């Protein structure tokens, strides 16, 4: 369906899907509530749906399109996208394949390397091998400090910096108590966290201004992401233009690389030595009115209500078949 054939969203029943059982549930609830209010205030029929309470099979006939405000496991990893495809309910965001690639960081990073895109070195934590062996691999292939995080997770949950082998050993042991099945150890890049948003508007992909974040925390962790007193955002970024131009260029390449659709956010680290490296991508960026995507859109002259409506329309511009 072309941009000219997108239905008038004022005539649609829009289901805003949020919540679920992911560790990122609180952020998802916020995304859903903010997006739902923006649509309702615009006079659009909206149904706020917590997918933890309602089976997807119950959505057929109840909604015309799904605006995905889901985060994390089960929400942005391709699973709910596949279910909605099967139910023939149009939905926002990327398809099954791009969602799965974007969620699984090692797969994403392997593709980035094949595309000659800079991404921090990493090793996987294999639960089948001893912690001693893992420490040896990290010591010889990466060195310290390192950053430990789930292979499929976001929001900086269950993540942190290990400055030496003792700290890394403790973090590996502690990981067993977390809800994530797989972890990775990544080269730690000292620098300024940045992000670039991309959104399809009227059939064309628009690259939003770079947003950078300074924080008083050791890194841009969960607390800093949810407490504005712990961070200072700049949008447009305070970085030199050649660095922000590089990020925008790489973000567009990531869009094509994974086959993204509708909306995407790509996270970077701007190193103190001028290095620009890709950390990960997010196929379902947060939809909070105060979130990164909304901030970048505002810097481009796009209001929050308009942003949400643009995203809804992209559910109808997918190709007839999207892997």
- The 10s digit of each residue's pLDDT in 243-280 is 999 999 999 999 999 999 999 999 999 998 999 999 99
Which 8-state DSSP code applies to residue 176? T
Model confidence at 104, pLDDT cuts 50, 70, 90, reads very high
Candidates 292, 38, 317, 72; CA nearest to 179 is 72
Which 8-state DSSP code applies to residue 292? H
Burial annotation 117-136 (CB, 10 A radius, 16+ → b, else e):
bbbbebbebeeeeeeeebbe
Q: Mean of the per-residue pLDDT values for the chain?
A: 94
For 158-197, write each residue's pLDDT tens digit: 889 999 999 999 998 887 766 677 899 999 999 999 999 9
pLDDT at 213: 97
Task: Calculate the dihedral angle through the C-alpha atoms of 240, 244, 249, 254, rounding to the nearest 10 degrees.
Answer: 140
282 assigned binding-site residue: yes
Question: Is the pLDDT score of 154 beyond 90?
Answer: no
Domains of the chain, with CATH numbers? 3-92 (3.40.50.20), 101-118+190-315 (3.30.470.20), 122-187 (3.30.1490.20)
């Amino acid at each position: 369906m072309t941009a000219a054939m997108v239905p008038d969203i004022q005539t649609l029943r829009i289901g805003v899907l949020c919540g679920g059982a992911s560790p990122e549930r609180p952020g998802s609830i916020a995304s859903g509530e903010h997006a739902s209010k923006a649509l309702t205030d615009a006079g659009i029929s909206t149904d706020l749906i917590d997918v933890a309470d309602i089976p997807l099979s119950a959505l057929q006939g109840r909604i015309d399109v799904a605006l995905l405000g889901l985060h994390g496991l089960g929400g942005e990893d391709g699973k709910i996208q596949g279910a909605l495809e099967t139910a023939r309910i149009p939905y926002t965001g990327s398809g099954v394949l791009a969602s799965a690639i974007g969620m699984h960081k090692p797969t994403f990073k392997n593709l980035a390397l094949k595309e000659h895109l800079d991404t921090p070195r990493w090793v996987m934590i294999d639960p089948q091998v001893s912690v001693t062996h893992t420490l040896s691999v990290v010591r010889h292939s990466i060195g310290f400090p390192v950053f430990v995080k789930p292979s499929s997770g976001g929001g900086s949950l269950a993540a942190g910096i290990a400055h030496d082998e003792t700290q890394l050993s403790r973090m590996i042991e502690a990981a067993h108590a977390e809800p994530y099945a797989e972890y990775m150890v990544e080269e730690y890049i000292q620098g300024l966290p940045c992000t670039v948003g991309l959104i399809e508007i009227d059939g064309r992909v628009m690259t939003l201004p770079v947003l950078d974040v300074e924080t008083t925390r050791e890194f841009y962790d969960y607390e800093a992401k949810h407490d504005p007193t712990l961070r200072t955002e700049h949008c447009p970024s305070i970085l030199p233009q050649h660095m922000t131009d590089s990020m925008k260029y790489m973000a567009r390449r990531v869009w094509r690389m994974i086959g993204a659709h509708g909306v995407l956010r790509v996270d970077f680290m701007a190193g103190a030595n001028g290095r620009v490296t890709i950390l990960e991508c997010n196929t379902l960026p947060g939809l909070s009115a105060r979130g990164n995507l909304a901030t970048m859109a505002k810097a481009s002259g796009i209001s929050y209500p308009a942003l949400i409506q643009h995203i809804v329309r992209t559910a109808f511009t997918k190709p007839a078949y999207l892997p």
